[in-house]
C-alpha cells in the first residue's frame, strides 16, 4: 500500500517544486487534531471580551513603532511584499551574524515548524522530543508517516537531555528542543544544551524552537544560533508572536544551514507574508525599549501569579517565559468551563496520569482578576 509520505514524495517530484493542490494544502495546513483533542476542546477563536490566558500572547503589543509601521505601509497593500520580505531577511541576517542564505522567512514560526515536520516525514524515520512540549512540528510530521518518540520531562519539569540522548535511534532524523519550553516555561542550562546539540547534530538534525528566548536576559548569549554559525547541523526557529506582540501579523523565521533551509523552502507556499506584518516585524526588531517593557511587565505579573500558586500549595516549576504550568486541583473540564463562564480562557493538559493547567501571563490586572475567578472555581 502506498503511504501518504510515498504519495506526496512522488507528487512533489512530478510537480517539480510546484505548490501542492489547494484541496490537499487545506487539509494539511489544518490544526493538528491530536493536539486539539489533548487540550479539552477550548479553541482560540471565541467571540466576546474574553481574557485570553490560553495562547501565550503578549497583552501589550504591537508596540507603538510597529503600529506606526503598519499604518505607513497600508497604502502599499496593493503590492506584493517581496521587497519588504527581502529587507527583513537581510536585517535578520545582519543582526544574527549570518548570511541571508542562512535565513528562511515564514508566516509565523508555525508554518516553518510544519515545513520541518513535512520535510522530515517525507524522508522517513522518527523525530525525538521531550514531552510535554510544543508539539506542532511532530503532529504535523505524523501526517507524513513520521514516528514521534517522546521522552518525559525530568522532576524539575525540564528537558531530560541525558535520557533524550539515550533515546536517539538509528532512524532518528530530527531531535526537537523548545527552550524555554512550552507549556512549562522552564529553561535549559546554556552550556548543557550547547553540548547536547553538538553531539546530537552528529546523528540527526537538531531543531531548537526559541519562540520565548527574548523573555530571557541577554538572549543572544543563550541562543543556539552560535552553533549554526559554527557549521553544526542545527536549525533555530524564532517568532515575532511573543515578546514582540505580533501574533496576529504572522511573521517568523528560521536560522540554519543553507542547504537544509533550501530543501525546506522548496516545499513552502509562495508569497505568504503580508506587507503589514513584515513592516511591523522590521520596526519591532530594533525596538529594544518595548522588549524591555514587556519583560518587566511580564515579570511583575508572573511573580504575582507564582506567589498566589505558592500560597495555595500548588507546585510549579519556575517559569522563564509568559506561561505557568501546574497540577489541576480539581477536574480539568470543570476548571475550563467555569473559568470561561467568568470570562477567562486557559488550557488544560493531560500528562503523567493527571491533569495540568497551563495559564498564560496577562497584565497584572488580568492576573488579579483570574486569581479571583480561579479561587471561586476551585474552592
CB 160 within 8 A of CB 151: yes
Query: Each residue of 47-66: pLDDT tens digit?
Result: 458 999 999 999 998 999 99
Alpha-helical regions (H) of the chain: 4-14, 22-28, 33-38, 64-73, 82-96, 108-123, 136-142, 161-167, 190-200, 219-222, 225-229, 258-265, 275-285, 288-311, 332-341, 364-378
What value does the mean pLDDT take over residues 104-114? Answer: 95
Nearest Cα neighbor of 116 from 228, 267, 278, 273 is 267
- Is this structure's pTM higher than 0.85? yes
CB 339 within 8 A of CB 374: yes
Task: Name the residue ranges covered by the structural domains of the chain.
Answer: 42-60+289-378, 64-285
Nearest Cα neighbor of 251 from 295, 283, 207 is 283
d(CA 75, CA 85): 17
Phi, psi of 245 (to 5 degrees): 70, 35
Does residue 97 have a pLDDT over 90? yes
Query: Each residue of 340-351: pLDDT tens digit?
Result: 999 999 999 999
Mean pLDDT of the chain: 89
CATH architecture entry for 64-285: 3-Layer(aba) Sandwich (3.40)
Does residue 216 have a pLDDT over 90? yes
pLDDT band at 150 (very low <50, low <70, confident <90, very high): very high
Nearest Cα neighbor of 361 from 328, 321, 308, 332 is 321
Q: Do the bridges between strand 103-106 and strand 252-255 make them parallel or antiparallel, or are there none, so unpaired? A: antiparallel
Q: What is the DSSP string of 57-118?
A: --TT-S-HHHHHHHHHHGGGTTS-SHHHHHHHHHHHHHHHTS-GGGEEEESHHHHHHHHHHH
Nearest Cα neighbor of 234 from 263, 201, 266 is 201
User: In which residue are the cell numbers 500548588 written?
Assistant: 314
Does residue 17 have a pLDDT over 60? no
CA atoms 373, 297, 43, 62: torsion sign: positive
Q: What is the DSSP string of 266-291?
A: TTSPTT---HHHHHHHHHHHT-HHHH
Which CATH number fits the domain 42-60+289-378, given the four candidates 1.10.3470.10, 1.10.287.110, 3.90.1150.10, 3.40.50.150? 3.90.1150.10
Amino acid at each position: 500500500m502506498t503511504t501518504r509520505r510515498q504519495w506526496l514524495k512522488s507528487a512533489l517530484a512530478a510537480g517539480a517544486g510546484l505548490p501542492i493542490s489547494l484541496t490537499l494544502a487545506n487539509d494539511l495546513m489544518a490544526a493538528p487534531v491530536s493536539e486539539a483533542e489533548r487540550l479539552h476542546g477550548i479553541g482560540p477563536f471565541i467571540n466576546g471580551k474574553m481574557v485570553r490566558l490560553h495562547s501565550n500572547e503578549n497583552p501589550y503589543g504591537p508596540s507603538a513603532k510597529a503600529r506606526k509601521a503598519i499604518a505607513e505601509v497600508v497604502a502599499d497593500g496593493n503590492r506584493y511584499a517581496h521587497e519588504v520580505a527581502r529587507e527583513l531577511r537581510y536585517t535578520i541576517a545582519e543582526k544574527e551574524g549570518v548570511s541571508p542564505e542562512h535565513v528562511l522567512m515564514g508566516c509565523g514560526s508555525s508554518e516553518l515548524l510544519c515545513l520541518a515536520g513535512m520535510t522530515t516525514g517525507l524522508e522517513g524515520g522518527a523525530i525525538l522530543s521531550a514531552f510535554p512540549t510544543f508539539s506542532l512540528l511532530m503532529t504535523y510530521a505524523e501526517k507524513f508517516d513520521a514516528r514521534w518518540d517522546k521522552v518525559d520531562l525530568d522532576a524539575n519539569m525540564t528537558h531530560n537531555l541525558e535520557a533524550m540522548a539515550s533515546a536517539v535511534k538509528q532512524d532518528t532524523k530530527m531531535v526537537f528542543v523548545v527552550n524555554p519550553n512550552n507549556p512549562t516555561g522552564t529553561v535549559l542550562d546554556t552550556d548543557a544544551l550547547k553540548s547536547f546539540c553538538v553531539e546530537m547534530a552528529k546523528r540527526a538534525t537538531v531543531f531548537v524552537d526559541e519562540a520565548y528566548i527574548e523573555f530571557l536576559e541577554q538572549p543572544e548569549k543563550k541562543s543556539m544560533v552560535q552553533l549554526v554559525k559554527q557549521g553544526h547541523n542545527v536549525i533555530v526557529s524564532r517568532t515575532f508572536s511573543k515578546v514582540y506582540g505580533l501574533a496576529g501579523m504572522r511573521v517568523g523565521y528560521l536560522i540554519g544551514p543553507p542547504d537544509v533551509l533550501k530543501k525546506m523552502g522548496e516545499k513552502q507556499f509562495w508569497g505568504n507574508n503580508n506587507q503589514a506584518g513584515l513592516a511591523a516585524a522590521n520596526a519591532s526588531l530594533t525596538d529594544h525599549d518595548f522588549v524591555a517593557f514587556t519583560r518587566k511587565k511580564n515579570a511583575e505579573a508572573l511573580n504575582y501569579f507564582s506567589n498566589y500558586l505558592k500560597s495555595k500549595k500548588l507546585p510549579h516549576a519556575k517559569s522563564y517565559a509568559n506561561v505557568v504550568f501546574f497540577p489541576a486541583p480539581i477536574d480539568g473540564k470543570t476548571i475550563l468551563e467555569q473559568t470561561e463562564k467568568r470570562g477567562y480562557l486557559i488550557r488544560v493538559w493531560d500528562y503523567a496520569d493527571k491533569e495540568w493547567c497551563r495559564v498564560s501571563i496577562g497584565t497584572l490586572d488580568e492576573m488579579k482578576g483570574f486569581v479571583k475567578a480561579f479561587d471561586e472555581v476551585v474552592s
